[in-house]
Amino acid sequence: MMKYLIVVCMASLIFATSCDKEKNTENNMELQPPKADKIAKNLEMHDDVRVDEYYWLNQKDDPEVIDYLERENDYYAKMTADTDEFKEALFEELKGRIKEDDESVPYLYNGYYYITRYEKGKNYPVYTRKKGNLDAEEEVLFNVNEMAEGYAFYNLRGINISPDNKWAAFGVDTLSRRKYNIHIKNLETGEVLDEVIPLTTGTSTWANDNKTLFYTHKDEQTLRSSKIYRHVRGTDIENDVLIFSEDDETFGTYVYKTKSKKYLVIGSYSTLTSEFQILKADDPEGQFKVFQPRVRGLEYNISHFGDHFYILTNKDGASNFKLMKTSENTTEQENWEEVIAHRDDVLLEDVETFRDFLVISERSNGLNKIKISRWDESTDPYYLPFDNETYTAYTMQNMEFDSEVLRYGYNSLTTPASVIDFNMNTRDKEIKKEVEVLGGKFDKNNYESKRVWATGEDGTKIPISMVYRKGMEQNGDNPLLLYGYGSYGSTIDPYFSSQRLTLLDRGFIFAIAHVRGSEYLGRQWYEDGKLLKKMNTFTDFVDATKYLISEKYTSTEHMYASGGSAGGLLMGAILNISPEFYNGVVAAVPFVDVVTTMLDDSIPLTTGEYDEWGNPNKKEYYEYMKSYSPYDNVKKVDYPNIFVTTGYHDSQVQYWEPAKWVAKLREYNTSDNVILFHTNMEAGHGGASGRFEALKELAMDYAFLLSLEGIKE
């Protein structure tokens, strides 16, 4: 979830009235931020010495560390106390737009319609199904509200129904460390078996015999998905059979079943390379066969149809990917035949197979496209029509192979998400559901969106999607929140958010900078924002900022930036590059101590990310990382107002990265602007569990952001 910044009054902040300013300044002048002890630790590599004076904060569960984090939380609470009522009002506003007794559009799978619904006032979903038709009696599979009672955090994932519809495997995490225990439930009796499988990803796959379960085990320390096991229902977990061990520490592994239900598949993945193994699902005790041995730089994904596999791959330099096929009996790459050729201007993202149709998800000039073709080529291929530049379209739950209906989702910056069933034969579509925005005030005709292009210093055109209320004037007076991510090839598409209305209705412009490091403009857009080209991600964001200011969408007094995780790294980098352009920056669970983390291969995710960031054990990558690592580049400068959040149990970006960063920022900051830090002591990377708890965190953030603009109601 995106985090946004607001900060309460200090001497340099402007509020609605001078009375408010004097009152808040007087109240806060006596408050001093916690001061972390400085204990120098020399970190040596490649004849270079970095001195980390806050390294001691890495000691998780140390009483002094916990005390420091709690003092930070107390400082945050006191500094923002005057917005407590505002936070509560914002929470009620955000909650008031949500249909509390909502439910998903049912989807058909193996004879049952599956539905997820929410009950009024409840935090968690209820998973149900109906046999044969929607008029059948509802069967409650999991009421997560009941299951979560007594837990500060609860996450259920990976519900996997056996082919005979009698058993459900599911994963549960109660610590927010993404260490899931897999349980098995008898859906006829309601009994949950005693056999609990620990330390997994939470997902699993049934063989076709209804008793054999394949699952992925995680490394205890690094949390890398490293092993595939086979479990037979009713037997001791200690007797589970190790099927595959992924011994390359830069790879992870997972297991699933093809949509055709004919094959079990083990996947191995790294940033640049993939490999699959296959086994007929009717033969769970058989030997998996390697589909195509891993070759560094060769990426591919497989889908099964008929007696062929279809392969989405970058083989032979197809950077934007192409589609190939091969017989299920001769799967090595020398047997692959081209189906859809590589195109320099179109990124091939995904394929969906049906009995009569092949559905292709593409991206062209940054925009999603869905292409439909018949296997028998009796009609020409065609694209679903979309008519603007700020939308998101994607295929959804298409579980049934023998269907002529494609289910896809659509939304835009101004249009709530819709679930649409499209008949690929008749080309008729039915909107099954458009998300309701309650509260009585929302009218999508009150908002406008558009895409603009900034020009970077190197001449690169950087796309920016934005949304605002109609009547916005380009006079430099609009507060503007610019969001960015830009890593792993992950693309932030223009999407609708009812929560965002809280900002838009108070005069904010919201914008997404589609910086290099994503795949918004194709695979090369990603390649140009990683490894030794990572700085492009940061300079693109700054150049987008400059453009928005120069075009008078906003000004430096009203410019804000936000990003989380790798987007938090982006925030840290821009703060060191051009802090003068921003009035406030929010960094959520930020990856800011890049060099130290990437040198520690005991930390979760580190080794698997060498192909994204580089391996700092090599001098070239070490020096480049050090040149942009936010923690290593904090300097004496006027930093803007900053709000940083983290989760104590975060397994992806450890809490100590932002904790150390904030301590150093405060030490070096030469402005009077406030730097606030809050740790959710019960949550991990994704924040609080439960839909309403998450809204409370968002309301807290919005209250701060709006306060910087002098908005108190």
Q: Give domain limits for the chain.
A: 18-96+448-708, 352-437
Give the pLDDT confidence score for residue 687 in this predicted structure. Answer: 58
SS3 287: coil
Phi, psi of 551 (to 5 degrees): -85, 5
CB of 707 within 8 A of CB of 5?
A: no
| DSSP run (H or E) holding 243 | strand 241-245
Integer Cα distance of 291 and 279 in angstroms: 10
Query: 669-692: per-residue pLDDT in tens?
Result: 999 999 999 999 887 666 566 678
Give the pLDDT confidence score for residue 697 in this predicted structure. Answer: 86
- Could you say which residues of the chain have pLDDT below 70? 1-29, 604-605, 684-690
Give the pLDDT confidence score for residue 322 in this predicted structure. Answer: 97
Give the pLDDT confidence score for residue 12 in this predicted structure. Answer: 29
DSSP state of 175: S
- Residue 660 token pair: 């150390």
Give the pLDDT confidence score for residue 10 in this predicted structure. Answer: 28
Integer Cα distance of 214 and 222 in angstroms: 21
User: Residue 43's CB: how many other CB atoms inside 10 A?
Assistant: 14
CB of 368 within 8 A of CB of 383?
A: no
Where in the sequence numbering do the catalytic residues fall? 565, 650, 685
CB of 645 within 8 A of CB of 2?
A: no
CB of 625 within 8 A of CB of 616?
A: yes
Fold classification of 18-96+448-708 (topology level):
Rossmann fold (3.40.50)
Give the pLDDT confidence score for residue 220 in this predicted structure. Answer: 87
Confirm whether pTM is higher than 0.85: yes
Give the pLDDT confidence score for residue 607 in this predicted structure. Answer: 75
Give the pLDDT confidence score for residue 25 in this predicted structure. Answer: 43
